[in-house]
Amino acid sequence: MIQDIAPHRYDNAYHPRPPKAGDRVFFYQDTITLLNGATGLPFLWEEAEALADLSQLPLTYLFAIDDVAFHWCHVVPQAVLEAAVPAKNGGFRDMEPGWLAFACITASQLHGWYHDHQFCGRCGFPAQPDKVERAMRCPACGNLVYPTISPAVIVAVTHGNRLLLTKYSRPGATRNYALIAGFAEIGEPLEDTVRREVMEEVGLPVKNIRFYKSQPWSFSSSLLSGFYCDLDTDDETVTLQEDELGEGTWFDRENLPQGGSAISLTHEMIERFRQGPV
Ligand SMILES: [Zn+2]
């Protein structure tokens, strides 16, 4: 999956430090990441420094992978802009090496969060990065805001040797088969999210809900929790929530469709079921 970058190690402890050669620096135009046009990768610190003097520009430490720190430079010098190519988030899915793709996606989520929290949501005063934690603090009223992560579930509904797969109906969504998915609501345990989403999307009751794995999914600022569960009826009839889904089909284990993105928890859960009981 996308976060599986071993032997590299993602270090999100908040230990801001000055950039050095070998570090990477991100530049953005709105939500678009600017990659080095020569490499197709985020700029090495020394590559960007060779183009423009970054020493006086505002910089935010993001995280580290191994001993490589990643920073966000808030200003895009003209020479950097001319040497850069824009990358939309979806483009990171195929980037090699995978650990830098994971860095790009994670940095993009953090950048988006910082960008959207420049002002205090309580009193409207300009907020500032906290010096100790990865958070934005309001100097006027003291409001402290942490990065936003939305919990969501991925649900594999099984019935003996069969698995329920779905396809989204909205334009622009993936055309691959997927599993039922949805965001947790306030006040709701994830197990209830599973029951509610399955009932809403396909009109079926489920039981024996069991956690499989989780996955950070920065494309939607969410944290996915994957669950398997069993159909709690012998009637497999699907009643689609048509504004969400275009298809809900039961497949025997032997006839599960191939394909899908290997970076996703959904893909791993389908493949795990293909191999045998879960
Ligand atoms: Zn405030």
pLDDT digits (tens, 9 = 90+) for 61-73: 999 999 999 999 9
Q: pLDDT grade, residue 242 (50/70/90)?
A: confident
Of 155, 203, 152, nearest to 182 by C-alpha is: 152
Output the CA 130–ligand 1 centroid distance in Å. Answer: 13
Average pLDDT over residues 151-172: 93
Q: What is residue 212's DSSP assignment?
A: E
pLDDT given at position 88: 66
Output the CA 147–ligand 1 centroid distance in Å. Answer: 16
| Structure token digits, residue 232 | 């709690």
Give the HSE-up count for residue 115: Cα atoms under 13 Å, Cβ half-sphere. 16
Question: Has residue 262 got a pLDDT over 90?
Answer: no
Output the CA 143–ligand 1 centroid distance in Å. Answer: 5
Output the CA 105–ligand 1 centroid distance in Å. Answer: 29
Q: State whether residue 116 is helix, strand or coil.
A: helix
Residue 78 exposed, middle or buried by CB count within 10 Å (0-12, 13-18, 19+)? exposed
Average pLDDT over residues 140-149: 96
Output the CA 137–ligand 1 centroid distance in Å. Answer: 8
Q: What is the pTM of this model?
A: 0.88
Question: Has residue 89 got a pLDDT over 70?
Answer: no
Domains of the chain, CATH where assigned: 10-116 (no CATH), 150-275 (3.90.79.10)
Q: What is residue 173's DSSP assignment?
A: S
Tell me the pLDDT tens digit for each residue of 30-42.
889 999 999 999 9
Output the CA 16–ligand 1 centroid distance in Å. Answer: 24
Output the CA 87–ligand 1 centroid distance in Å. Answer: 34
pLDDT given at position 211: 98
pLDDT given at position 147: 95
